[in-house]
Chains A and B, each alone.
Chain A
Amino acid sequence: MKTAERAHRLAGILREFPFLGEISVENLLEVVERELGHPEILDGFRPYAGHFSRAIPREPILHVVSENTPHAALQSLARGLLLGARNFLKLPSGGLPEAEQFGKMAVEAGFSLQMTGGRETAPAMLREAKAVVVFGSDETISHFRKLVPGDAVFEPHGHRISLGMVFDDPRGESAPLAARDVSLFNQKGCLSPQDIYVAGDARGYAMHLAREMEQFHRKDPRGPVTPYEAAQIADMRANYRFRSANDPRVQIWESAGGTDWTVIYEEDPWFAASCLNRVVFVKPLPDDPAAALGPALDWLAAIGLWPATPEYVEKLAGLRPSRFCTLGRMQDAPFSWHQEGRQTLAPLVQWVDFQP
């Protein structure tokens, strides 16, 4: 199957998963062209900087995906399929229905894919893999790093943090967009903001955000969480209730009758890590955001901006997130995005050059 045909079939499958956004045949081929230099370079030798080259997928590719993040799993798998590689998919122990469905459709469409579940990855798959893409915690990544054969490419995608920055919004017009970014996927995606930094009246913005969190909740409830997750939210709330009772620089807004959403205003700009599940901090935007982010800088994925102007992006480029976007679109990473600041197709191929 040629690349164009693969792109065609893949786009057909991806259409069944609208949460991934619109991904056309042209989008897919453009990613191949951007990353590998020519849309047909996987099909044969094509001109490449004065000579000819051909890209060959490093296969089989083993995709180890984590629970509750079907986005990353499907995007990773789609990359492997687009390359025309043989693919192994290791499903999380708790299952991932979207990935399973996607996998079944891919097999029916003639792609090469083998799926496995359970806690242990079939050792044969790991031994055979020439590329291993892993999504998961530091512990999971370190576990697989040790197991990956020396000649295989290892592409880890660890847990990340994201945040929002609001520069010019005295009336809180972007608050519904921030509420969407926080609430979608219950903050379990690496693109989910945990803190929103606001220039100007940050406390006022927190109030707007609280109202919008409630609005979003009414439309799209969070759903149940585990007792441990609920306990973490309850603990964080109690902690900040105590803080707010004793410190006017702290204020908390929370959903009534449950742990559905929580907004915490804190004047201290130091990045506060959320316990997730729709718990978000609002803080004044400091003059030096890098200092406020501290160690969180190492894990920065996306910054959602309002307004998302080139001037602000250039000004903040030194923070080195892997993605800037406008608030409200933090969860809509395109297929072509540089996840964790890296190319996503290029590491999964090897090259053959032909110099006539």
Chain B
Amino acid sequence: MIKQKLSQREAKVLAFIEEKTGNFEDLILEIHAWQRTACRPYANFCAPMPSPATWHEIPALPLSAFRQAAIRCFSEGETERTFRTSGTTGEGYGEHHFQTLEVYRAAALAGWQLAGLPAGNVHCLLPKPTESPHSSLSCMAGWLAPAERFFWKDWDPLAKVLTGTEGPVALFGTALAFLDFFDWLGSRTLRLPEGSLAIETGGYKGSGREIPQEEFYARFTEKLGLEDIRNEYGMTELSSQFYAAGCPGVHRGGPWVRARVIDPETGLEAQDGATGVLRIFDLANIGSCCAIQTRDLAIRRGKDFELIGRDPAALPRGCSRSADEMLAR
């Protein structure tokens, strides 16, 4: 029923995600050509650049564009949902508008499945979608778990549910929520059924908490007896996600989303094993912009990547106060 409302382009992308019909390069070039005319701020951005011959050449929009302009290929009145970034970097909010959530939903569910994550018994350490309507993460989690499996800040009910559970569970939440839950547990530990796993996402931006990933993952083992820990890499400005297992893990996405690690000095793709910034090409970003230039550092691992993130410890050295420090105040 819903599919009938989709545009031809959306239907094609949906078919590619769900039924693997079509090919990535043709689709993304077609969608880019359309976005280049349909989204005025992006059209202006692309104007000095030639039309791309390959998907590599599609001009990538910086994340800041989502703060500065309405990045959408439809009218404001046609907007079904708008998700907002957390604004924790101190630069204001970015907004990602959707005309339909159908493609986002398909990409999120297919990505979850491709990463080998379980379809049932997902418990979320997140606000419920109804309580956090502007959170794309809560929205996505709402497709994975019913409302009664959302836990946020009040950890007693979660501990009770986990204590009584029999089959394997999947815990999905932000890194900060897990840390908060572990703090709440104190010296207590839980032992989750065999086959259980955790998927953590998001950094510690603005929280003042910094913990090495290795130490963080060791707490899952110590507090919950979990050995299988995954990281989900996604962001409000994207519709698809990447997943990695273990620490350090290699992030991989579905066939409809690709990552390139770009040498920021040259703008060219980094050598395998070299560090650069992540550029994401996400077919599911059909109503906004398919090519996104992130600010995250990563190491190229073939077609996949190992995430470093925005390393706050790597501020330029010296005594000149930089932009990052101004924002950190």
> A residues engaging B (CB < 8 A)?
66-69, 72, 92, 94, 135-138, 157-162, 185, 187-190, 192, 194, 225-236, 238-239, 241-243, 245-246, 257-259, 272-277, 295-296, 299
Contacts and interface: CB of A to CB of B under 8 A. Distances in A.
A243 B60 CA distance: 14
A242 B61 contact: yes
B320 A226 contact: no
| Range of interface residues on B (Cβ < 8 Å) | 35 or more
A160 B329 contact: no
B212 interface: no
Contacts of A136: 319
B47 interface: yes
Given A234-B264, A242-B45, A190 B316 contact: no
B302 to A, nearest CB: 19
Given A226-B314, A275-B324, A242 B65 contact: yes
Nearest to A277: B316
A267 to B, nearest CB: 15
A315 B329 CA distance: 29
B291 to A, nearest CB: 11
B100 interface: no
Contacts of B213: none
A78 B249 CA distance: 49
B266 A276 contact: no
- Counting from the closest, the 5 A-B pairs by CB-CB distance are A188-B318, A238-B62, A234-B264, A228-B314, A230-B264
Given A161-B320, A245-B45, A258-B266, 20 more contacts: A66-B317, A66-B318, A68-B318, A157-B319, A189-B320, A227-B275, A228-B311, A231-B295, A232-B316, A235-B64, A235-B293, A238-B60, A238-B62, A239-B62, A242-B41, A245-B48, A246-B44, A257-B266, A259-B264, A259-B265
A273 B321 contact: yes
B202 to A, nearest CB: 19
Nearest to A187: B320
B68 A243 contact: yes
Given A138-B325, A227-B275, A231-B297, A258 B318 contact: no
Contacts of B44: 245-246
A275 B323 CA distance: 5
B277 A234 contact: yes
A258 B268 CA distance: 10
Contact of B318 (A194, A231, A235, A276): A276
B267 interface: yes
Contacts of A295: 326, 329
Interface of B: 41, 44-45, 47-48, 60-62, 64-65, 68-69, 262-267, 275-277, 293, 295, 297, 311, 314-327, 329
Nearest to B315: A137
A161 B326 CA distance: 10
Contacts of A162: 320
Given A137-B315, A235-B62, A238-B293, A299 B321 contact: yes
B320 A276 contact: yes
Contacts of B262: 234
A276 B322 CA distance: 6
9 contacts: A69-B318, A69-B319, A188-B318, A227-B277, A234-B262, A234-B264, A234-B277, A235-B64, A275-B323
Nearest to B276: A227
Nearest to A185: B318
B294 to A, nearest CB: 9
Contact of A275 (B265, B277, B297, B316): B316
A159 B319 CA distance: 4
Contacts of B322: 159, 273-276
A81 B274 CA distance: 45
Given A242-B41, A246-B44, A189 B319 contact: yes
B64 A160 contact: no
A40 B265 CA distance: 54
B193 to A, nearest CB: 41
A54 to B, nearest CB: 34
B323 A273 contact: yes
Nearest to A260: B265
A236 B265 CA distance: 13
